[in-house]
Amino acid sequence: MNPSPRRVSLLRLATTWSVATAVVLMLVKSVAWVSTGSVSLLASLIDSLMDAVASIINLLAVRYALQPADEEHRFGHGKAESLAGLAQAAFISGSALLLLYEAVRRLMTPQPLESVKLGLGVMAFSIIATVILLVVQRYVIRHTESVAIKADSLHYWTDLLSNLSVIVALFLSMAGWLRADALFGLAIGAYILYGAVRIAQEAVQHLLDRELPEEQQQRIVQVALEHPDVTAVHDLRTRQSGHTKFIQLHIEMDGQMNLAQAHVVGDAVMLRLKEAVPGADVIIHQDPEDDSHPDLPGERIT
């Protein structure tokens, strides 16, 4: 199923905004780090550098995922979004490990910071820019449920926390707590690494065709059973690839129905499911009543 024009527009908005924000923050933080020598500001700079790379990958992957199905990709290109999430996790993990190394080194040999006021101004600007981006991403996620945008948004949330902690670290350094900068850098690195693991886990589960959440599966069964001619449902299988949710299920009906009648019932159930689960690709198999095929995986639900 091809994505709607609105979905395409929203995903392009989110990915373009993300790249622009990451590049601007990377540039201003570079100036601030060179001026201050702060390891916590370096942490934030490294994170923004990885953000820029990851956001560009995200932009390319999402645009590829939006391409309609073709002869060689009959199920579409949606898994490119999950691959982008996995790539983001790898980049974020690398930046976190580099940051942890630098924080430990600076913790052992603390140094006074310079031009702290410039650093504070840059971090305040970074917070405002990141909040604006998160608002845009939240709106897009609510209307698209994009895995790639969710992953992008997750590490920008870590950026926001990182920026706030850098400000605290700079204030403490001004007060004479020289090791505070390195300690905050260490904490930020650990949190970034944790976020990368979460992103990777979600991306891998999508690539492995994990079932839709339990509440969605129950809703699918409920919608199918609402049709008066459907007596039971079994062998429900679900997965998601990009924006498309794939639903396969068997419905049981009166065995005395002819083929034309069974086809009408199947089409009606399919239409209801597509209304209940927007963007779904639905396959329905019609069975005579009590033919639940116990040898196949799945539970018969009446």
Q: What is the pLDDT of residues 202-259, one digit of tens each?
A: 778 777 777 888 888 899 999 999 999 999 999 899 887 766 788 999 999 988 888 8
Report the pLDDT value the prediction gives residue 297, as an integer from 0 to 100. Answer: 47
Range picked from 40-54, 130-144, 165-179 for highest mean pLDDT: 130-144
- Please, are residues 111 and 37 in contact by the beta-carbon 8 Å criterion? yes
Distance CA 153, CA 140 (A): 10
Instruction: Read off the pLDDT band of 296 (50, 70, 90).
Output: very low
Higher pLDDT, 69 or 9: 9
121, pLDDT greater than 50: yes
pTM score: 0.56
103, pLDDT greater than 70: yes
Task: State the chain's mean pLDDT as an integer.
Answer: 78
Range picked from 156-160, 181-185, 226-230 for highest mean pLDDT: 226-230
111, pLDDT greater than 70: no
Per domain, the residue ranges of the chain are 5-207, 214-288
Report the pLDDT value the prediction gives residue 271, as an integer from 0 to 100. Answer: 92
The fraction of the chain above a pLDDT of 90, given in percent, is 13
Tell me which amino acid residue 88 is: Q
**Class of residue 126 by CB neighbours under 10 A (exposed 0-12, middle 13-18, buried 19+):** buried
Report the pLDDT value the prediction gives residue 223, as an integer from 0 to 100. Answer: 92
Chain centroid, CA 89 distance in Å: 11
Tell me which amino acid residue 173 is: S
Instruction: Read off the pLDDT band of 68 (50, 70, 90).
Output: low
Which residue carries 């004479």 as its tokens?
176
Query: What is the CATH number that goes with domain 5-207?
Result: 1.20.1510.10
For 214-288, which CATH class? alpha beta
291, pLDDT greater than 60: no
194, pLDDT greater than 50: yes
Report the pLDDT value the prediction gives residue 239, as an integer from 0 to 100. Answer: 86
Higher pLDDT, 21 or 37: 21
Strands 232-241 and 244-253: antiparallel
